[in-house]
Amino acid sequence: MIIKYVLDKSFGPPGSFTGYFILLVGLITVFASWSGLVLIVLGSFMAFSTSGCMIDCDNFKIRFTDNLWGIFKVGKWQYIHPRTQIGVNHARMMYRVSSISNHNIDVSDPDWRIYIYDGVDRRGKAICKFKNRVDAERELIRLSEALNIPIREEAPGTKQ
Alpha helices in 7-97 (DSSP H): 12-29, 36-48
Looking at residue 84, the DSSP 8-state letter turns out to be -
Instruction: Check if the beta carbon of residue 122 is closer than 8 Å to that of residue 134.
Output: no
Q: How much is the pLDDT for 154?
A: 67
Identify which of 45, 25, 44, 49 has the alpha carbon closest to the alpha carbon of residue 35. 25
Closest CA to 63 of 72, 73, 75, 71: 75
pLDDT at 152: 84
List per-residue pLDDT tens for the chain, 160 residues long: 889 999 888 888 888 999 999 999 999 999 988 889 999 999 999 999 999 999 998 888 999 999 999 889 999 999 888 788 898 988 887 777 777 787 887 777 788 999 988 877 778 888 999 999 899 999 999 998 888 888 887 654 455 5
